[in-house]
Amino acid sequence: MYNFSKLLLNENMKIYLRTRTWIMTGLLLALVVFMTVPVYFMSKDSAMSMWTLVKYESAVGYLLIAMFTAVVAAGSVAEEFTSGTIKLLLIRPWMRWKILLSKYISVVLFALLQVVLLYAFTIAFNFLFFDHTNVTAEEIHGFFVGDGQYEGSAAVYNMKYYAMRFIALLVTSMIAFMLSTVFRSGGLAIGLSIFLVFSSISIGPIIGLIDYKWVDYLFFVHLDLVPYLTGNVGDRTLGFAISVLAVYYALFAALTWFVFEKRDVGA
Nearest to 165 by CA among 52, 32, 36, 65: 65
Reply yes or no on whether the pLDDT at 46 is more than 70. Answer: no
- Report the pLDDT value the prediction gives residue 110, as an integer from 0 to 100: 95
Helices 96-127 + 238-262 axis angle, to 10: 140
- Report the pLDDT value the prediction gives residue 14, as an integer from 0 to 100: 87
- Report the pLDDT value the prediction gives residue 77, as an integer from 0 to 100: 80
For 25-43, how does the pLDDT look when each residue is reduced to its tens digit (9 = 90+)?
A: 999 999 999 999 888 888 7
For 210-263, how does the pLDDT look when each residue is reduced to its tens digit (9 = 90+)?
A: 666 777 787 777 788 888 877 766 677 888 889 999 999 999 999 988 988 877
- What is the pTM for the complete model shown? 0.86
Sign of CA dihedral 109, 110, 111, 117: positive
CA distances from 206 to 148, 175, 209 (A): 19, 21, 5
Task: Please name the amino acid found at residue 240.
Answer: F
Nearest to 217 by CA among 186, 259, 256, 248: 248
- Report the pLDDT value the prediction gives residue 23, as an integer from 0 to 100: 94
Burial of 193: CB neighbours in 10 Å, binned 0-12, 13-18, 19+: buried
